Structures are given as C-alpha cells and as structure tokens.
Amino acid sequence: MYKIIISSELKNRCPKLRLACIEAEVKVAESADGLWSEINFQIEQLRQSLMTEDISQIPTIKASRKAYKACGKDPARYRLSAEALLRRIVSDKGLYRICNVVDQLNLVSITSGFSIGGYDSGQIQGDIAFGIGQTDEPYTGIGKGDLNIENLPVFRDELGAFGTPTSDSQRTEVTTQTSRFLMILIDFGADNQLEVTGKLAVRLLKEYCQARNIIEYNID
C-alpha cells in the first residue's frame, strides 16, 4: 500500500478534498463485450439526459472546477478529464476503446463525474504526494505532449509529477505490461458519492480485469 499525503498547500485551498485509492493486480486485455455493453448503456443514458451546458453543474464537476480556480488554473482551458469525457459523449463522439483497465476507469468517471487517475504501479517510485504544480515543472500527458501543470493539482513520486485530474502522464501509463494498477478517485467536495463510486470501481475491476489482492483506502 502506498503512503499518500495531500500537501498542506493543496488542502488549504481545497479543504474538502478526499481521495479513494484502489490497488490491485490486474490482467490488461481487450475489453470484453459485457464491459462495453455497460459503457454503451451509460453513454445512451447520458446522451438522453444531459446537455453540454449542464455538465459544469454536475456536483462532482462543479466542485472540481471550483478547486481548479482555487489553485489558480482555468478549468475551461485545462479541462478535467471527467468533464472532457462527458463533453465527448454529449457531442456524440463516444469514448475511445483502449483496454479493459482504462475502459472501466472511464466508465466509473462518466457515471460519477469524478476525475480519476489510473497508473501502472510498477512505474511509481516511493511515496506519493498530491500538491500543486510549479512553474516549468516537466510533464508529458498521455496524448497531450508537454503539458503546463503550473497551478494544477498534481501527484508526485520520487521521480516527479506523474498525474493530474486533467491528464495522466506517459511515464505511468497503463500498458499491456502493467500487472499492478493504482486507481485514485479525486473528490474535491461532492458530498457522499465517493464510497459508492469506489464500490463500482472494485466491481468492474473484479468482473472485467481479473483483479486480485485488492487494497482499498481513503485519504483526507
């Protein structure tokens, strides 16, 4: 189990911040039809009930956007990953089909509105701190190239920044070689949804990713 702390600087700006962490051994593979049936069902529900202008008012999204502003980052320019996924759905662009581990994470994210980090545990070195990005701090986001993480909430290990609610990093990206997975649900203050969402994530990991030796813990 990782030692994960929230920096005092970030906690002072986002006092309701909580994290739900799930560690598990997984089998990375192509997503089963059953998982995509669940994803497509949720996509259809969202397309029927959600408009683009409604997304920012979803409690989890609203709390996250408020946290970005408190840290000094414009959430309209550096979109939260959950908000970006929901915008794809309401624009009828669907979701990318990547692999079972990432696809289940995206399903949890669009269901809850939480931005969620998903990391190859083998690429994380030492303890983890959740803080605020610094000026010119190096970071390469998945599919985004060099990303300006100044004033973004940032996960760091001994090697530097490896995750943000906007984009995970290439260094800790889940690949077919990933055997141990760390999933972090980021709650900036959306009441009581974190526990329910964590249970959904564990179910999906067990059912579709052959998850074993699961460890769950919260950080606040």
Report the CATH number at residue 145.
3.50.40.10
Per the CB < 8 A criterion, the answer to whether 31 and 97 are in contact is: yes
At residue 190, the pLDDT reads: 80
At residue 195, the pLDDT reads: 94
At residue 192, the pLDDT reads: 82
Q: How many whole angstroms separate alpha carbon 202 and alpha carbon 207?
A: 9
At residue 75, the pLDDT reads: 97
Please state whether the predicted TM-score (pTM) of the whole model is above 0.75.
yes
Residue 4 neighbours by CB distance under 10 Å: 18
Q: Which of 65, 17, 72 is nearest to 189 (CA)?
A: 17
Confidence grade of residue 149 (pLDDT, cut at 50, 70, 90): very high
**Could you give the number of structural domains in the chain?**
1
Is pLDDT at 191 greater than 80 in this prediction?
no
Residue with tokens 């990713």: 209
- For every residue of 16-52, DSSP letters joined together read T-EEEEEEEE----PPPHHHHHHHHHHHHHHHHH--G
Domain that holds residue 197: 4-219
Query: What's the whole-number mean pLDDT along residues 202-218?
Result: 98
At residue 85, the pLDDT reads: 98
Structure tokens of 18?
């909580």
pLDDT tens-digit series, residues 33-79: 999 999 999 999 999 999 999 999 999 999 999 999 999 999 999 99
The DSSP output letter for 192 is T
